[in-house]
Amino acid sequence: MDSRREEIRKLALRMLDERDGLGVSSPAPLGALPFGADEAGRAVVARAMATIRSGNEDRSIPRRGHRIAWLAAAAAALVAIASSDLTLAFIQRGSPVEVRFVLEAPEATSVWLAADFNDWSPSGYELEKAPDGSWSITVPLRRGASYSYNFVIDGERWVSDPAAPSSLDDGLGGVSSSLSL
Amino acid sequence: MILAFNSGALAQGGQGSSGQSEQAAQGKDQSEGASVSGQADSQPGRAGADSSPRVSSQVRSTADEATATGVRAELEFNRWLASYLAGGELEGTRSRLETIAVVAMNAGVPADAFKARIREAVAKRATPETMLRAIEEDARRWIWLAGQLDGSAWPPGDRAAELYLSASTALRNGVAEASVAGLLSWAGDTSADAAKAGAALTTAASLSMPFRDAATGDAALTLLRSRLRVRQYSAVVELAVRAQSAGFSSRRFLEALEATLGQGGSLRDLDRALFG
């Protein structure tokens, strides 16, 4: 299980690097995409959500947190003076954050995650089923951007995330969920 | 040689575009060598404006490089498209897609924006008609966007496709062109983070969903100018959902957004302004 998670993480990080590079990544072979857009999958989905597993998402930062943030900023400024290139590179690339995508679909036999961060190819992004019927996968993503994604149920039904705050028309006859990090 | 690159052949695209581009690219490679020889520029008006042969050759060299880059990008895209669609159900759309993309790319639209949308359409098994309609609509929006960004060094090249995709998503989902134009203008002037600008655009589009209307006002610009981080944008949408449930109109919500986040306030300020 751990090795599989590590495999997924490596794949996701590689995709991120490609995305951060020239913005061009290798095309997925068509044969590996046996999916069709179908909103009927909504009936199968009971609940789903994408949660951020690590990273501080607390919206009410305590005062002490502010002090720590200021100290961190001051430290960052010193580092910037010492090595501006290093700091700039860090800021530009952003830090990865582990995002856990969860879909409750007890009747499904497989669930995949397809998103703009993996070129919409669910290859390697298969969710694992828990005994309670929920499916999940944890993917490292970079902060500071928004992402679009869908779940693919049983290899053919593309569904948006019912728990996501927003879903947008994808222009292709379906909707995609949106996530800001 | 320069005139060959300025011809309308590249903008016509279609079946013959690849061959024409190959010739243009080959010619370009030759002209790159010639452009540094100091020959007078043949374009009307420009020769007179250049005060010396050296300046003229520099101007031409820059123009040539830009054209060559465009031609190479077009060729690379056409090769990618042929390879990507080969043997698939959407192979019949290739010629039309090339035509659309060539016109758009000559207007300044990044090829990666097309690639991303084509990948999405293929993955979702869109029908050829649906895919072509979607790409055509995106291309129309992107060309408009390229016009807005014409002459601007913003966004950085490695973030351009991302911004184009976010902008077309926003426009498709109800954000007005005037709002997008306002955001682009401000973002360009301040060299804003392009990824954040894109996230602000898609979040603004999301704000219209709870209210079932397309009135998002200048929400995208308000978000981008605010001190919120991108990861807090989803919370703004959640507040919009709550506001709609509590009976607020989109106008009232947007007024509260501007009065709080637009004035340097926090999420908590917005929450208070809406719910006390």
B131 reaches A (C-beta below 8 A) = yes
Question: Which residues neighbour B239 within 8 Å (Cβ) at sequence distance 6 or greater?
Answer: B253, B267, B270, B271, B274
**Nearest chain A alpha carbon to B162:** A23
In the predicted structure, residue A92 carries a pLDDT above the cut 80? no
For residues B10 and B102, the answer to whether their CB atoms sit within 8 Å is yes
B198 reaches A (C-beta below 8 A) = yes
Window 60-119 of B: residues touching A by CB (8 A cutoff) are 80, 83-85, 87-88, 110, 112, 115-116, 119
A147-151, B17-21, B83-87, B196-200: lowest mean pLDDT where? Answer: B17-21
- Final residue in a domain of this structure, among A43, A78, A113: A78
Q: Per-residue pLDDT averaged across B87-101, rounded?
A: 95
What is the tally of structural domains in chain A? 2
Question: Which residues neighbour A120 within 8 Å (Cβ) at sequence distance 6 or greater?
Answer: A114, B119, B120, B122, B123, B124
**Nearest chain A alpha carbon to B161:** A23
Kindly report the average pLDDT of chain B as a whole number.
Answer: 82
In the predicted structure, residue A65 carries a pLDDT above the cut 70? no
Same domain, A96 and A175: yes
Query: CA-to-CA distance for A149 and A137, rounded, in angstroms?
Result: 13
In degrees rounded to 5, what are phi and psi of residue A141? Answer: -130, 155
Partner residue opposite A168 with nearest CB, options B205, B229, B230? B205
In the predicted structure, residue A27 carries a pLDDT above the cut 70? no
The confidence band for A164, taking pLDDT boundaries of 50, 70 and 90, is: very high
In the predicted structure, residue B33 carries a pLDDT above the cut 80? no
**Nearest chain A alpha carbon to B269:** A60
A146:B230 CB<8 A: yes
In the predicted structure, residue B105 carries a pLDDT above the cut 60? yes
Query: CA-to-CA distance for B144 and A1, rounded, in angstroms?
Result: 48
Same domain, A94 and A68: no
Within a domain: A84: no
Q: Per-residue pLDDT averaged across A25-46, rounded?
A: 38
The pLDDT, as a whole number, for residue B34 is 31
Same domain, A111 and A49: no
The pLDDT, as a whole number, for residue A29 is 35
CATH of the domain at A141: 2.60.40.10
B198:A173 CB<8 A: no
Between residues A21 and B106, which one has the greater pLDDT? B106
The confidence band for B217, taking pLDDT boundaries of 50, 70 and 90, is: confident
Written as six digits, the tokens of B204 are 């603004």
A17-21, A31-35, B65-69: lowest mean pLDDT where? Answer: A31-35
In the predicted structure, residue B13 carries a pLDDT above the cut 90? no
Between residues A59 and B76, which one has the greater pLDDT? B76
**Amino acid at residue number B244:** Q
The confidence band for B138, taking pLDDT boundaries of 50, 70 and 90, is: very high
B202 reaches A (C-beta below 8 A) = yes
In the predicted structure, residue B226 carries a pLDDT above the cut 90? yes
What sign results for the dihedral spanned by CA atoms B36, B40, B42, B46?
positive
Query: CA-to-CA distance for B259 and B243, rounded, in angstroms?
Result: 15
Same domain, A95 and A72: no
Partner residue opposite A119 with nearest CB, options B119, B158, B230? B119
Among A125, A167, A180, which would you mutate to test the B interface (most chain B Cβ atoms within 10 Å of its Cβ)? A180
The pLDDT, as a whole number, for residue A64 is 54
Q: What percent of chain B has pLDDT over 70?
A: 78
The confidence band for B162, taking pLDDT boundaries of 50, 70 and 90, is: very high
pLDDT in tens, B46-78: 333 444 556 566 666 777 777 887 888 899 999
B270 reaches A (C-beta below 8 A) = no
Q: Where are the domains of chain B?
A: 1-29+60-151, 156-276
Within a domain: A42: yes
What sign results for the dihedral spanned by CA atoms B220, B222, B225, B228?
negative
What sign results for the dihedral spanned by CA atoms A46, A47, A48, A53?
negative
Q: What percent of chain A has pLDDT over 90?
A: 44
Same domain, A70 and A110: no
Reported residue count of chain A is: 181
**Nearest chain B alpha carbon to A121:** B123
Same domain, A96 and A71: no
Within 8 A of A177 by CB-CB distance, chain B residues are none
Within a domain: A83: no
Query: CA-to-CA distance for B225 and B200, rounded, in angstroms?
Result: 9
Q: Per-residue pLDDT averaged across A175-181, rounded?
A: 96
pLDDT in tens, B261-270: 999 999 999 9
Same domain, A110 and A142: yes
In the predicted structure, residue A89 carries a pLDDT above the cut 70? no
Within a domain: A151: yes
Same domain, A127 and A48: no
Domain range for residue A151?
89-180
Query: CA-to-CA distance for B104 and B111, rounded, in angstroms?
Result: 9
Question: Which residues neighbour B28 within 8 Å (Cβ) at sequence distance 6 or greater?
Answer: B1, B5, B64, B67, B68, B71
Class of residue A33 by CB neighbours under 10 A (exposed 0-12, middle 13-18, buried 19+)? buried
Q: Per-residue pLDDT averaged across B12-35, rounded?
A: 37
